[in-house]
Amino acid sequence: MTPFTSADHYRILTSMLAPALLMAATGSLLVSANNRLARVVDRLRQVIALWKLDPSENRAGLDAQIERHRHRARLVLRACLLLYLALASFVGTSLGLAADALLQNVRLWGLPTALAVIGVLCLLAASAFLGREVSLSVRSFDEEIDLELNRPHRP
């Protein structure tokens, strides 16, 4: 095993920078997704409170809203799980790069790259779930406005 030079240390740290940036981006998405989940849960609680107070014909509309908000919560939850998996993959990528450099005789082959690809794919899937949830959020908002203004809903 040959000793490391300072250039080797800089090369290792530089290669670990890309996963660190992806970790920061994933963390920002997690904060946003958790905030969305909290807002969905709060709105769901409001609709349930209305449902309990209104035994009339409006219950069908409230039932639909409850189901839509439950669906939104599940979408955000899936996105959060994927974002946590992405975060773990990027941490693993960073550790794999460091281990690959330190263990010169034991090559990890494509492990760091595979972990990075898994992380990016999880980010892609989480973004798709969050995009779907935003779409449902806007549709729900439109329906609530139409209901408040006693207008027929436009699809």
Domain boundaries of the chain, sorted by first residue: 18-148
Predicted local confidence at residue 147, as pLDDT: 72
121, with CB counted inside 10 A (0-12, 13-18, 19+), is middle
- pLDDT tens, position by position, 119-132: 999 999 999 999 99
Predicted local confidence at residue 47, as pLDDT: 87
CA distance 7 to 13: 10
- Return phi, psi of residue 93, to 5°: -60, -50
Predicted local confidence at residue 124, as pLDDT: 96
Q: Is the pLDDT of residue 1 over 70?
A: no
Predicted local confidence at residue 16, as pLDDT: 72
Q: Residue holding tokens 């992405």?
A: 86
Length of the chain: 155
CA distance 70 to 75: 9
CA distance 49 to 44: 9
User: Could you tell me if 133 and 76 are in contact, meaning their C-beta atoms sit under 8 angstroms apart?
Assistant: yes
